[in-house]
Amino acid sequence: MKQLVLVFLGGGIGSILRYIISKFFNPYFQHFFLGTFLVNIIGCLLIGIIIGLSFKNNFLTENQTLLLATGFCGGFTTFSTFALEKHSLLRDGEFLYFSFYTLSSITIGILAVVLGLWLARIL
């Protein structure tokens, strides 16, 4: 139960921060969502640091990693988890799986958004 609370708290804080950053930076460019872009890149950097520290001499406990990586970074941006998973595939030499998973996630994700928008319009 404690682990669920840690993920919940980290996710809530990450989500609030994502909202604030996006609300502040997105209006500056018409066709480039600067706030979302910054959140995604910062999230990738943070999850790399957090996971790296958790592996380095057990610098972070499992609960701290849950709070920060799964909770905060997960609430801040799921893109960070996506990027970390892609790194794992590349590190393991799984180039075919990397390519398939990356392309299918992006393509199908965009198609799912389009489908969802279409369904919402006809319902």
Can you give the pLDDT at residue 122? 83
Overall residue count recorded for the chain in this entry: 123
Can you give the pLDDT at residue 49? 92
- Mean pLDDT of all residues in 94-119: 92
The answer to whether residues 6 and 33 belong to one domain is yes
Burial category of 31 from C-beta neighbours within 10 Å (exposed 0-12, middle 13-18, buried 19 and up)? exposed
Residue 103 tokens read as 């392309």
The answer to whether residues 87 and 100 belong to one domain is no
The answer to whether residues 23 and 37 belong to one domain is yes
The answer to whether residues 25 and 81 belong to one domain is yes
Signed CA dihedral, 63, 68, 73, 75: sign only: positive
The answer to whether residues 117 and 69 belong to one domain is no
pLDDT of 121 above 90: no
Q: Whole-angstrom distance between the N-terminal and C-terminal Cα of the chain?
A: 39
pLDDT of 7 above 90: yes
The answer to whether residues 64 and 16 belong to one domain is yes
- Mean pLDDT of all residues in 66-87: 91
Residues of the domain holding 35: 2-92
The answer to whether residues 45 and 88 belong to one domain is yes
pTM metric for this prediction = 0.78
The answer to whether residues 61 and 111 belong to one domain is no
Query: Which of the pair, 7 or 81, is modelled with greater confidence?
Result: 7
